[in-house]
Amino acid sequence: MNWDDLRFFLAVAGAGSLSGAGQQLGVNTTTVLRRVASLEDDLGARLFERERTGYRLTAAGEKLVEALEPVDRRLSALPRDFAAAGEGAEGSVRLAAGETIASFLLAAEFPSFRAEHPGLELEILTDPRLAAIGQAPRIGNPLKDVDIALRLARPTQGDMLMRKLGDLAYGLYASPAYLEERGRPLQMQDIAGHDLIGFPRGETPLGPVWWFSRAEKSARIAFRSSSVSARAEAARRGLGLAALPCMVGDLQEGLERVFGPDTLGSLEMWLMTRNDLAQLAHVRAVMEFVVDAVKRHRSRIEGRDHEVRDLMPPLRPNH
């Protein structure tokens, strides 16, 4: 067996596709397919089922993941663990957070944190694979490349220190010119015929993503983007009604809130790190910084700074 094939197997298991694994490993999809096929030949077992939505683990694949995950987790952590040894409250910490939290919350709070910890280098990554909407993947190591992650749904891993920080509220926003021309929706049926700006296909149907998937059945899709800034700018330009975090939409000049979180809903904010990393002083310092920043701006995050009466009753999933 070529032990390096195991690395390719874990990449496909984590990404759910050959292209995603190839991007992660810096190789083409043909190489990934060849290495996975080689491993299957060596083990005499089929590890994946090819489906329309990607690669799904077979029972044998699940068994192999369970055996490899602890090893992969420890090996990926070695460089950071050695670098952290003896650093005390100083050192370098990599934090994964979404664009909204990184730009509209943490960056603004960082000067005071920097003054308290001048020897601590904080690196914030906004890679959507590390801080995505929806549950962390059940397989693979969600903190393989970072020390701390702030995700927009409850994590599922067991060997993690997890803490819910609050709820990131969403609203529907539009430019005054768009509302004057097209009318202001007051209830669900008023959405019909409007242009919507929302999330990419394939996002986990939670909170505002679920609401948007229902609303788009009677409206037209003008634009989709995983970028909050892109959706906000498109709405400011009069392209349509945009689903935005309230802490972003409420601050945008040239946008008005049409519906608030009582209608669109919220996404849970979860802070997570490995249990062993949580014992390190510099990692704890960054975690406390994030927790305190959320506490100070909770009303903005939850959309309570903007007084508005939602006239449209919230949609409820049918169970």
Three-state SS string over 100-131 comes to HHHHHHHHHHHHHHHHHCCCEEEEEECCCCCC
What per-residue confidence (pLDDT) applies to 313?
A: 39
Residue 252 has pLDDT above 70, yes or no: yes
Which domains does the chain possess? 4-78 (1.10.10.10), 81-166+267-301 (3.40.190.10), 168-264 (3.40.190.10)
d(CA 57, CA 97): 28
Q: Which of 220, 245, 211, 221 is nearest to 314 (CA)?
A: 211
Residue 201 has pLDDT above 90, yes or no: no
How distant, in Å, are the alpha carbons of 82, 152, 206, 245, 258 from that of 267? 35, 6, 7, 9, 19
Q: What is the pTM of this model?
A: 0.69
Quickly state the pLDDT bin for 145 (edges 50, 70, 90): confident
How distant, in Å, are the alpha carbons of 32, 268, 272, 294, 296 from that of 281? 39, 26, 16, 20, 22
d(CA 186, CA 233): 23
Q: 227: Cβ–Cβ under 8 A, 6 or more apart, which residues? A: 99
Contact 226, 199 (CB under 8 A): yes
What per-residue confidence (pLDDT) applies to 134?
A: 52
Three-state SS string over 235-265 comes to HHCCCCEEEEEHHHHCCCCCCEEEECHHHHC
Contact 12, 18 (CB under 8 A): yes
Quickly state the pLDDT bin for 25 (edges 50, 70, 90): confident
Q: 210-228, pLDDT tens digit by residue?
A: 999 999 899 999 999 989 9
Contact 89, 282 (CB under 8 A): yes
Q: Which of 181, 178, 180, 182 is nearest to 193 (CA)?
A: 182
What does the pLDDT average to over 76-105? Answer: 72
Minimum mean pLDDT among 15-24, 63-72, 108-117: which range? Answer: 63-72
Residue with tokens 């070695």: 78
The Cα angle at residue 290 between residues 289 and 294, in degrees rounded to 5: 115
What per-residue confidence (pLDDT) applies to 309?
A: 37
d(CA 314, CA 319): 15
Contact 297, 247 (CB under 8 A): yes
Q: 31-90, pLDDT tens digit by residue?
A: 999 999 998 888 899 999 988 778 889 999 888 888 877 666 666 655 555 555 544 556
Percent of the chain at pLDDT above 70? 82
Contact 154, 270 (CB under 8 A): yes
Percent of the chain at pLDDT above 90? 47
What per-residue confidence (pLDDT) applies to 316?
A: 40
- β partners of residue 151: 270
d(CA 62, CA 46): 11
Quickly state the pLDDT bin for 258 (edges 50, 70, 90): very high
d(CA 46, CA 54): 15
What per-residue confidence (pLDDT) applies to 133?
A: 58
What per-residue confidence (pLDDT) applies to 310?
A: 39
Per-residue DSSP letters for 202-245?
A: T----HHHHHHHHHTTSSEEEEE-S-HHHHHHHHHTTS-EEEEE
Q: 224: Cβ–Cβ under 8 A, 6 or more apart, which residues? A: 197, 198, 199, 200, 201
